[in-house]
Structure 1
Amino acid sequence: MYLYEMKVTFFSSKPYDKEFFDKANKKFNFELDYFDTHLGPHVLNLIDHSDAVCAFVNDKLNAEVLEALSKKSVKYIALRCAGFNNIDLEAAKHLGIRVCRVPAYSPEAVAEHAMAMILTLNRKTHKAYNRVREQNFALNGLMGFNLYQKTIGVIGTGNIGVAFAKIAKGFGARILAFDIAENQQLKDIGIEYCSLEHLFAESDIISLHCPLIEATHHLINKDSIRKMKKNVMIINTSRGGLIDTKAVIQGLKDHHIGYLGIDVYEQEEKLFFRDLSQTIIEDDTIQRLMSFPNVLVTAHQAFFTAEALEQIANTTLESLYHFEKSNDFENPNAVLI
């Protein structure tokens, strides 16, 4: 145990966050404050003498929020996720606030969920489960296709993309990949790198594993859909903003997109991680998406395994300790600024 006192305020926290962070904190003895609300300008009064703020994917860390945190003497922002599209890094740097993230936490967790979505959409196991529970054992409408010898396109071959490509390769599929940096390990096992246009044109299934940056915003749009095979399956377990949702809905209506699986959604901060079962959802776009029989939506759960949560908690607290002690990081990709 390091026995070092630091106060860390958590936002968008759930009972499972508290469970895993409290367990990891036995090594550090930090003071941990948990709030289930999203971080934004409206809740800054909750922060009291905190050294660090721990945020999640839908917390808003724009210049206004960061400036207010700086005035409250917050020194560190710990993102307990890999993505960092929700923070203004330039503003944080200007204010002298250091930022860290969790660049890799059981990439297999997200990769396996992406494959689970493919198998569910294809073999319609979710529909079969409901049918059998109603004593309907008919097979009509449940026909799928073999993944064997199909072409699966992987956009983004970081840790998660690599894990997914290896899983897909195990099904005997042909794997195409696109990334600005090619992974030699994947090339050595027969995975083909190609242009984005070629991947769109050749793939029966496209799985997104790239970060959300300016260049990838609405990567899946009206024009790119037009380049894809008819009846293509699109899977997104990365960030909602990679997909132009209105364009995808039109693609579904035109029967150009045959299947859609999303674990992320561009406007998810108003929906995901909440129980809205007794609420009228006013987001007509997500309601329209969920009305299609060939669309599968999960609520940002791809990361949600015990192994991933343990790694997220340990890495996050370790990073904060290194910040305060000015230690070198074993994984420099954990440090954003």
Structure 2
Amino acid sequence: MKTLVYSAKDFEIPYLEKANCKKHEFTFLEASLSSESAVKAIGYEAVSISSSGKASTIVIEKLKDFGVKYITLRAVGHDNVNLKAANTFGIKVANVPAYSPCAIAEHAVGLLLTLNRKLIEANKRAKSFNFNLNNLIGFDLNNKTIGIVGTGKIGAIMTKIMHGFGCELLGYDIVENEELIKKYGMQYQSLEALCKKADIISLHVPLNSETHHLIDEDLIDKMKPGVVIINTARGAVLNTEDVIKGLRSGIIGALGIDVYEKERGLFFTNHSNDIITDEMIIKLNAMPNVLITGHQAFLTEEALTNIAETTIYNLDCWSKNRETENELTKTVTETV
């Protein structure tokens, strides 16, 4: 199948080529899918996009006109694709539903430990042979209360890891995971109750109309002073302006984010020689108790291998006129 791979990064191309084994005709394009770049898909039966691409109604209509029949996402999240529009225009969409929950959960723990034990500052000092320990005090994770918002595949791994640290575990989800209750003593709470009790809050929910700006000023005001917030889910789960206020007031003691609500057009690209005009990311970057990584939680060999193999699997199914269980438009059709 002739496929245009948008947002192709140097680090992922070898994994895609290895998984493909020359079965499909790939063209790699550095640009992400947008209304402007959609024209590049003329002559292709399928396109592959990452989370940085935007498949809006207008874009999907253009892709349909250009002859595209399939969109395969190299990600779990699909909030950047209008599935109803894809269904309307007859374009099938599939994702990679679970490439490596461990990669995301482990990165969340890495953010937490780095923030808590001031590792960035400690290393910066050591580089200049300054081994002064002032202002490097952290806290034991043992016996601390962690609130895990979203207890699906990634949240469940996070629960297991934090149980190993000896944390008290609070959970919030629309569906309670009985296994987490039995194995790790997870206590499910309302979101408000969780925010009132937790020393640490880790977010693992998808982005949708219910979770957009889930963490806002109202909830932040109910949190324990000094709470640590970790977000490896989706940027817009946090109301960033409200979070900045919380950091300035001291209610939020530290923030670790691998995602950002205005990351499209910013993340995945070197802007070191550019003038950044996004005031929120400038403010966050200036705060010593904020740690930002550029949507790299998925960046492990295992995850990249699984993403590539599932992407090829989706294309294989479509090329043989078979359904893939990863199809998202089928779900939309069934629920409409």
Name the structure 2 match of 1:135. 129
Alignment-derived partner of residue 226 in structure 2: 231
Aligned to 1:323: 318
**1:328: Cα distance to partner?**
4.8
Q: Secondary structure of 2:27's partner?
A: strand
1:21 match = 16
SS, match of residue 152 in structure 1: strand
Instruction: Show the 5 A alignment for 1:97-246.
Output: 97-189=91-183, 190-246=185-241
Among 51, 56, 60, the alignment partner of 1:66 is 60
Q: Distance in 2 between matches of 1:257 and 1:69?
A: 44
Q: Which amino acid aligns with 1:325?
A: K
2 CA distance for matches of 1:254 and 1:294?
13
**What residue is the counterpart of 1:335 in the other structure?**
327
Q: How far is 1:290 from its partner?
A: 0.9
Q: Distance in 1 between matches of 2:76 and 2:70?
A: 16
Does the 8 Å contact 2:225/2:250 carry over to 1? yes
Give the C-alpha shift of residue 253 in structure 1: 0.8
Deviations 1:262-321 (A, max 9, x none): 100011112111111122211111010111110000000000001000000000110121
User: Percent identity over the alignment?
Assistant: 46
Q: Which amino acid aligns with 2:255?
A: L
Q: Distance in 2 between matches of 1:324 and 1:200?
A: 48
CA contact (8 A) 2:39 2:62 kept: no
SS in 2 for 1:9: strand
Deviation at 1:188, TM superposition (A): 1.2
Q: Quick one: which amino acid aligns to residue 243 of structure 1?
A: L
Structure 1: gaps (5+ residues): 1-5
Distance in 2, Cα, partners of 1:174 & 1:165: 10
> What is the TM-score normalised by the length of structure 2?
0.96
Give 1:305's aligned residue: 300
- Whether 1:44 and 2:38 are equivalent positions in the alignment is yes
- What CA distance in whole angstroms lies between the structure 2 residues aligned with 1:142 and 1:118? 15
Is the 2:39–2:66 contact (alpha carbons within 8 Å) kept by the matching residues of 1? no
Normalised TM-score (structure 1)? 0.95
What is the CA deviation profile of residues 208-262 of structure 1, one whole-angstrom value per residue up to 9, with x for unaligned ones? 0000000000011000101111110000001001011100000011111100001
> Once the two structures are superposed, what CA deviation does each residue of 1:143-182 show, in whole Å capped at 9, x if it has no partner?
0000000000001111111111111111000111111111
2:232–2:258 CA contact under 8 A, matched in 1: yes
Q: Distance in 2 between matches of 1:279 and 1:99?
A: 35
Paired amino acid for 1:222: E
Q: Distance in 1 between matches of 2:314 and 2:151?
A: 25
Aligned pairs for 1:242-321 (under 5 A) are 242-321=237-316
Alignment partner of 1:96 is 2:85: no
- Tell me by how many angstroms 1:12 deviates: 1.1
Aligned to 1:3: none
- Could you tell me which amino acid in structure 2 is paired with residue 212 of structure 1? L
Q: Distance in 2 between matches of 1:306 and 1:202?
A: 36
Output the amino acid matched with 1:303.
F
Give the secondary structure class of the aligned counterpart of 2:36: helix
C-alpha separation between the residues in 1 aligned to 2:40 and 2:81? 19
Paired amino acid for 1:188: K
Q: Distance in 1 between matches of 2:282 and 2:323?
A: 47
Q: Secondary structure at the match of 1:138?
A: coil
